[in-house]
Chains A and B, each alone.
Chain A
Amino acid sequence: MSKLDLTRRGVIKSGAVAGAGLALPTIFTASSAAAYVNEPTGSTVTLGFNVPQTGPYADEGADELRAYMLAVEHLNGEGDGGMLNTFSSKALKGNGILGKKVEYVTGDTQTKPDAARASARSMIEKDGAVMITGGSSSGVAVAVQALCQEAGIIFMAGLTHSNDTTGKDKKANGFRHFFNSYMSGAALAPILADRYGKDRKAYHLTADYNWGYTTEEAVRTSTEAMGWETVAAVKTPLAQTDFSSYVAPVLNSGADVLVLNHYGGNMVNSLTSAVQFGLRAAQANGKNFEIVVPLYSRLMAKGAGKNVAGIFGSTNWHWSLENVAGARYAGTNAFVKSFGEKYGFPPSQAAHTTYCQTLLYADACERAGTFNPCGVGQALEGFEFDGLGNGPTLYRAEDHQCFKDVLVVKGNENPTSDFDLLEIVDVTPAAAVTYDASIFGGELGSCNPGA
């Protein structure tokens, strides 16, 4: 009869060896098959372009989609390469991303947060999209960014201007190339003070939603710091179409500047009303009455027609930037040529930012050597680059916001075409629009790979 020699030390040793043996395959499985959500396993990788294809911003969404398709062409080595030729990072080789051909699916945000989340979810769950990008509204961007954080997907924001996107609502998986309300205020204020003087009284009409509030606050803070006084700030309903009852009292309010914190249809209608009511030609406090539109978009300017003439605003990028301001903005002409030859007209700022975001994501994957959102996020954080049309740019690690020069523009008095409605007045250096990442609150949290 054999003797079973059990000792305490022997049991612990045997248990540890057996436990490690059993656990080993599980660790391998976890790291290889479910490292992150929608890990591409074949020869292709799918990106999800979530843009407004219906609703009031459908034209802007269509321009974003054109830019995305152009970016995919260039990533796959087709076409003339566009800004791949001028981009300071040379990680992208025109052979897709990490050797995988880029494919894409599209969703329709309808400029509604619920619809945008539903379409993003569908692209993630059904189509296996490894990255979601797009949008023409801050409400949509914040909603989709939160979804992507939960799902473990990288979100590369499109046109979203509210401070909150990379402020109080920022997420580790979300990144924004577009500028924000704070930057608009900081860029505009010195130019306004220079052109209109420091003794001005401003009347704000503000769209009654998140973006309107942050824009009003940014412009007020910046202009008041320059010596302007804010006479009144009136919130206008987002659904308002006729602004006459809001505009009519402005002339007799003691103000000599009207700031329209409106975007899209609101901007077109309020500006049209202001011009109809003679504010452009009026005098107040012994000065010419002036109108300011903090955020300009060429597509919106087209809707307002000749009413934009002479009115100041800010913009993230303009197709004439390299010709007007020089080689610092290299990439602009390459992109305009690619886009213009393919589609027959110059790209909008919405198209530019979405094209850049696609290239920046692809480049980060190449540099990180993975599609894992945590690796991609790490590659984007603190990334300094150039050659994408805005001059030297930093993707700040603390809030995932890009910092670059901001354009101050003015409605063209004598446009030669529908694309020539805005002219660049000045370019404010990035240093002048940079702020402390903590001022808008919020926490990035930690990156979520989703698995």
Chain B
Amino acid sequence: MDQIILQILNGLDKGSAYALIALGLTLIFGTLGVVNFAHGALFMLGAFCAVTLNRILSLSHTVIDETKKDFLGNPLKVEVPYVQGWFGESTGQAIIDWSVPLAILFTIPVMIAIGVIMERGLIKHFYKRPHADQILVTFGLAIVLQEIVKYYFGANQIPMNAPQAFFGSFDFGAMIGMEPGAIIYPYWRIIYFCFAAVLVGGVLAFLQFTTFGMVVRAGMADRETVGLLGINIDRRFTIMFGIAAAVAGLAGVMYTPINPPNYHMGMDFLVISFVVVVVGGMGSLPGAILAGLLLGILESFASMRQIIELLPGINQVVIYLAAIVILLTRPRGLMGRKGVMED
């Protein structure tokens, strides 16, 4: 029983990352009709916003420590962050320690700006082109973005830590009345899942309960009619592209303590996120979320030792097998709408 709960938890937090990226992809596809293969790169850029803020907060001056030697036998040069000089050692260290949560504030405007520039500068020129052209240009853009990041940050992964208060794990099993030690789960992964739930809820509420959201939904349903009513739907869709970029970026920021980021992390998520979108139903926001969580849980269960021993290799193909079965039985995906990508 504890193993089942453990894998469900795992699947939920893994699936929440898939769902966040798929949500952004679906927003862009649903509003602009663009198949955005650069969306994984936006996830990666968000993670590197956190790295950048951490480096800004860690900007240092050099102090020579005569008591220690460097690798060449010279007195050791110790880097002392400016924030420690300005706010005192413990406060300065705490500010650096909290750089990942602080990066949320930094990332939102940066990613909205990147999204808007991307849409206005490149993607709008491909609205009326075939999906194949859109895929090619956005995939090319993703490669360019990741090579830029690699140039500045290197190819190796960069360690990013959760704040000390959330480092490590806790006894989840004891909390729900099970035997102590039965389910040990990391704090940050639970935080990630809760953060994803809030973010998804926020985006859906924004679309559901604001006038802006209402217009966007109307535009998604019938763009021409909304335009005929004198509403500048293009401008709203551009903003939605920015919001989708910010959602992907925030997913990336919060993911950095789970896996140290590198330039390739977006590509690692891209294919699976498209599978999530297709399984959920092209253009369906709830479908993307449902499929993300479902496939995350399936992947977790397929990684169990007992399952692998029974069906060797199942952990590598389970998502695609599930996608085949779902698409054979429900060709439009779990919650797909009629007419989307069927022309």
B78, B154, B186: the one within 8 Å of A277 (CB): B186
Indicate if B303 sits at the interface (CB-CB under 8 A).
yes
User: For the complex, what is the distance from the CA of A300 to the CA of B268, rounded to whole Å?
Assistant: 19
Chain A residues in 8 Å Cβ range of B72: 336-337, 340-341
B:64-85 near A, CB below 8 Å = 68, 70-72, 76, 78
B258 proximal to A (CB < 8 A): yes
B91 close to chain A: CB less than 8 A: no
Instruction: Give Cα distance in the complex from A354 to B199, angstroms.
Output: 49
| With contact pairs A249-B305, A276-B168, A276-B186 given, residues A319 and B71 touching in the complex (Cβ less than 8 Å) | yes
A370 at the interface (CB under 8 A from B): no
B208 within 8 A of A: no
CB pair A340 B259 closer than 8 Å: no
Contact with A along B122-159 (1 / 0, CB 8 A): 00000000000000000000000000001000111111
Tell me the residues in window 123-150 of chain A with beta carbons closer than 8 Å to chain B beta carbons. Answer: none
Binds A, one of B1-9, B95-103, B332-340: B1-9
Interface size class of A (residues with CB under 8 A): 35 or more
Name the one of A269, A303, A307, A340 contacting B71, with C-beta atoms under 8 angstroms: A340
Neighbouring A residues of B71 by C-beta, 8 Å: 319-320, 336, 340, 345-346, 419-420
Measured CB to CB, the nearest residue on chain A to B259 is A269
Q: Which residues in B have their C-beta under 8 angstroms from that of A306?
A: 159, 161
Q: How far is the CA of A447 from the CA of B189 in the complex (A)?
A: 56
* Cα A277 to Cα B170 with chains together (Å): 9
Interface flag for B38 (CB, 8 Å): no
B10: chain A residues within 8 A (beta carbon): 244-245, 248
Contact A234 B260 (CB under 8 A): no
Is B262 part of the binding interface, using a Cβ–Cβ cutoff of 8 Å?
yes
Choose among B6, B14, B76, B78 the residue that contacts A242 (Cβ–Cβ < 8 A).
B14
Chain B contact patch, size range:
35 or more
Q: For residue B2, which residue of chain A has the nearest CB?
A: A252
Q: Given contacts A276-B168, A336-B71, is CB(A305)–CB(B262) below 8 Å?
A: no
Q: If A56-B264, A306-B159 touch, does A232 touch B258 (CB 8 Å cutoff)?
A: no
Q: Which of B68, B150, B188, B304 contacts A276 (CB 8 A)?
A: B188
Q: Name the one of B154, B185, B265, B304 contacting A245, with C-beta atoms under 8 angstroms.
A: B304
A351 adjacent to chain B (CB < 8 Å) = no
Nearest A-chain residue to B264, judged by Cβ: A56
For the complex, is A368 an interface residue (Cβ under 8 Å from B)?
Answer: no
Report which B residues bind A (CB closer than 8 A): 2-3, 6-7, 10-11, 13-14, 17, 68, 70-72, 76, 78, 150, 154-159, 161, 168-169, 181-182, 184-186, 188-189, 258-260, 262, 264-265, 268, 299-300, 303-305, 308, 315-316
5 pairs, A vs B, C-beta closer than 8 Å = A58-B150, A245-B7, A248-B7, A272-B260, A346-B71
Residue ranges of A at the interface with B (Cβ–Cβ < 8 Å):
54-59, 208, 232, 234-237, 239, 241-242, 244-246, 248-249, 251-253, 265, 268-269, 272-273, 276-278, 281-282, 299-300, 302-307, 319-320, 336-337, 340-341, 345-346, 416-417, 419-420
Sorted nearest first, the 8 A-B pairs with minimum C-beta distance are A305-B159, A303-B157, A278-B169, A58-B155, A245-B303, A276-B186, A245-B300, A346-B71
